[in-house]
Structure formats: C-alpha cells, structure tokens
Amino acid sequence: MISSVSSLPRSAHRPRPEATPYVDLTRAEWSALRDKTPLPLTAEEVEKLRGLGDVIDLDEVRDIYLPLSRLLNLYVGATNGLRGALNTFLGEQGSQSGTPFVIGVAGSVAVGKSTVARLLKALLARWPEHPRVELVTTDGFLLPMKELQERGLMSRKGFPDSYDRRALTRFVADIKAGKDEVTAPVYSHLIYDIVPGQRLTVRRPDILIVEGLNVLQPALPGKDGRTRVALADYFDFSVYVDARTEDIERWYLSRFRKLRRTAFQDPSSYFRKYTQVSEEEALDYARTTWRTINRPNLTENVAPTRGRATLVLRKGPDHKVQRLSLRKL
Ligand SMILES: Nc1ncnc2c1ncn2[C@@H]1O[C@H](COP(=O)(O)OP(=O)(O)O)[C@@H](O)[C@H]1O
Ligand SMILES: CC(C)(COP(=O)(O)O)[C@@H](O)C(=O)NCCC(=O)O
C-alpha cells in the first residue's frame, strides 16, 4: 500500500534548509575561482608583496586574496553602474561622480586584519579601473590616552566606547561625499597613544579600506528617537576575519614575543619595560591583557558583528583560510 507520506512530492520530504543569506564555500571551491581571475601575479608583483613585510604565504595570496580582489573589482564596476542609474534619475539635483568604493575589514585584535587589509590594498591597486587605494585604520580615532585615563577607559582600549565614533563616521562620510582632502588623527603603537599634531590626509581615492575592530558596530542610539548613521552604512563591501579564539590568543602572544625582540626595544616604546624583565613575566602581562581586554571585547562586541559582513574569512590554526561565507541575499 502506498502511504500518503510517500505520495508527497519528493521535495516535501526533504528538511527545509535553514534560511541563510550566505553561500558557504570551502577553500578548494573558492580557490578554483582563481582560474577565472584575470591579472595573475607577475614575479615582480610577488616581490613587491614580499616587500610589505608580512609573513603571508604566496599560495595563500593566489588561492584566496587574488580571487577576492577580482570579486571586489566586479563589485566596484557594478556599484558604479548603480551610481550612474541614480545620477540619471537625479539629473542635476544632487548627482555625484567619483564616489569612492568603501571596504570595511573587521575582526579581533591579532586575527590578521591589518595583514588582510594591506594585501587587499596592494592587490586592488593593480586594477586599471581603480589604481588609487587608501587604507585607514580606526585606531587614529581612539581617544587620546589622557582622556581614556580621565574616563577610566584604559582597560577598555579597543572597546567601542574608547573611540570618537562620531569623528570616525564623519571622516568616512566626508571621503564618500567626494571632499578633496579629508584628514584623520594618527595613532602610534610605539607610544601607545595618539600622536599630537600629526594628521593623515586622504585625497579622493578610488577605493578606501577602513580596517578596525569595531567597523561593523551598529549605530549609536540617537537623541529624541532620531536614527543615527553607522559607519558600516557607508560600506559597499565588508570582510570579517574570523578564527578560533584559542588560535587568535596564540597569535596575539606570538606577535607580542616578536615585538619584544624588535619594536619594544626602541627607547621611546611604551612597552620598553617588557624588554627588561624575563620573557615569562612579559608574557604574563600579555596574557592578562588578552584575558581582561581583548578577549572580552571580541566576545562582547566584535564577534556579534560577524553576521553583518558581506564576506567572512574563516582561518585555520596556521592562518590559512579554510572556509568562506559570501553574502548572496
Ligand atoms: N596570513 C598570515 N600568515 C601568517 N601570519 C600572519 C598572517 N596574517 C597575520 N599574521 C600574523 O598574525 C599576527 C596578527 O596579525 P595582524 O595583521 O597584526 O592582526 P590585527 O591587525 O588583526 O591585530 C601578526 O603577528 C601577523 O604577522
Ligand atoms: C589599537 C587597538 C585598540 C586596535 O585598534 P583598531 O585599529 O582595530 O581600531 C589594539 O591594537 C590595542 O592596542 N588594544 C589594547 C590592548 C592591547 O594592548 O592589546
């Protein structure tokens, strides 16, 4: 006898897949897209990338970041097309040309955001359609140390409230609005503070990359129920760099060990004191910083923004990207 269940169409038996706005790709599936990527790296460019000083493996560049630069190149073209449509619609009333394409790069302290951002800058600048690529890190918008101390925020450095978020959003809004010159304060890891009197200037780039812990945070609540604009509202594309927390801690400690042998040796380094105690004592400090500042910030503030990214890069213990989730809806 044929049961009523088995007489249902085949699709009715299948469990409904969980609704997700992402398409998930393995490393192999993503890297296969490399073959469709024009502009393979030349030997000279490989050398140039080495000159960035990053330890990144060149197979990783070819398999992961080269296809990503192609995807972004397609997005830039499509976004310009949309802008053209808007300009046709608006006519004289507010149409704009030369609007930069803005990319956000988010993730924990030490997950490798700066490395990914520097690499993307170099790879994107190779495309004749968008040679002028600027990279800005959000640390320039941290409150100066004196202010952090006065507000009791020294042990919350990197948390959303340790930044001048309004100034950061205004900075990106001004660049996007096509202002000729926009400036930002500069942060120094050496002095662990904003550098007095120093500014960074951005002049009408084709692409702006904004890298930082909190770039995907939602907008602050506005006064009187008014909606505020979030930094991410200005992004045309965003990347969240993801990894297991235990791996990120290991990378944080290993970077600290390396800095102790190099940058911390500088007499003006805020961290010079850690070159004058044993490695174990110095690492105790780094472990405490991780446990009390960077890990809670990751859990409470950074990781919850992952679902807002256009692309999530999931790294394995060796920094190699293992899985990618690309927003399709
Ligand atoms: N792809 C990679 N391969 C190997 N090491 C890497 C890679 N990306 C980052 N690292 C290392 O991991 C540490 C953290 O990277 P970094 O880009 O400084 O992180 P973040 O900007 O997120 O704080 C650094 O020591 C860096 O050299
Ligand atoms: C400067 C940072 C807050 C990162 O800032 P970002 O560029 O992501 O805005 C971070 O690297 C940092 O120094 N955190 C403080 C705790 C620590 O010393 O690790």
Per-residue pLDDT of the chain (329 residues; tens, 9 = 90+): 444 444 545 555 666 667 899 999 999 999 998 777 776 677 777 777 766 667 778 889 889 999 999 999 999 999 999 999 998 998 877 777 789 999 999 999 999 999 999 999 999 999 999 999 999 999 999 999 999 999 999 999 999 999 999 999 999 999 999 999 999 999 999 999 999 999 999 999 999 999 999 999 999 888 877 878 999 999 999 999 999 999 999 999 999 999 999 999 999 999 999 999 999 999 999 999 999 999 999 999 999 999 999 999 999 999 999 999 999 98
Q: Tell me the best of 113, 251, 258 to mutate to test the pocket of ligand 1, counting ligand atoms within 8 Å of each CB and taking the most.
A: 251
pLDDT at 41: 73
* C-beta atoms surrounding 32 within 10 Å: 13
Give the Cα separation of 20 and 258 in Å (integer): 40
- On whether 328 is known to bind a ligand per the annotation, the reply is no
Give the tokens for residue 266: 């500088």
Name the residue at shortest CA distance from atom 11 of ligand 1.
112
Name the residue at shortest CA distance from atom 3 of ligand 1.
56
Domain-embedded: residue 296: yes
**Cα-to-centroid distance, 157 and ligand 2 (Å):** 6
| Domain at 121, CATH number | 3.40.50.300
pLDDT at 123: 92
pLDDT at 14: 67
Domain-embedded: residue 129: yes
Domain-embedded: residue 202: yes
Domain-embedded: residue 12: no
**Cα-to-centroid distance, 158 and ligand 2 (Å):** 5
Domain count, the chain: 1
pLDDT at 1: 40
Do the bridges between strand 182-188 and strand 321-327 make them parallel or antiparallel, or are there none, so unpaired?
A: unpaired
Cβ of 148 below 6 Å from ligand 2: no
Q: Which ligand places an atom closest to the C-alpha of 113?
A: 1
Q: Which ligand places an atom closest to the C-alpha of 157?
A: 2
pLDDT at 301: 98
Domain-embedded: residue 329: no
Give the Cα separation of 86 and 94 in Å (integer): 10
Domain-embedded: residue 88: no
pLDDT at 29: 96
Domain-embedded: residue 89: no
Q: Tell me the best of 27, 55, 297 to mutate to test the pocket of ligand 1, counting ligand atoms within 8 Å of each CB and taking the most.
A: 55
* Domain of 171, in residue numbers: 22-80+99-324
Give the Cα separation of 184 and 207 in Å (integer): 17
pLDDT at 16: 67
Domain-embedded: residue 16: no
Cβ of 109 below 6 Å from ligand 1: yes
pLDDT at 3: 41
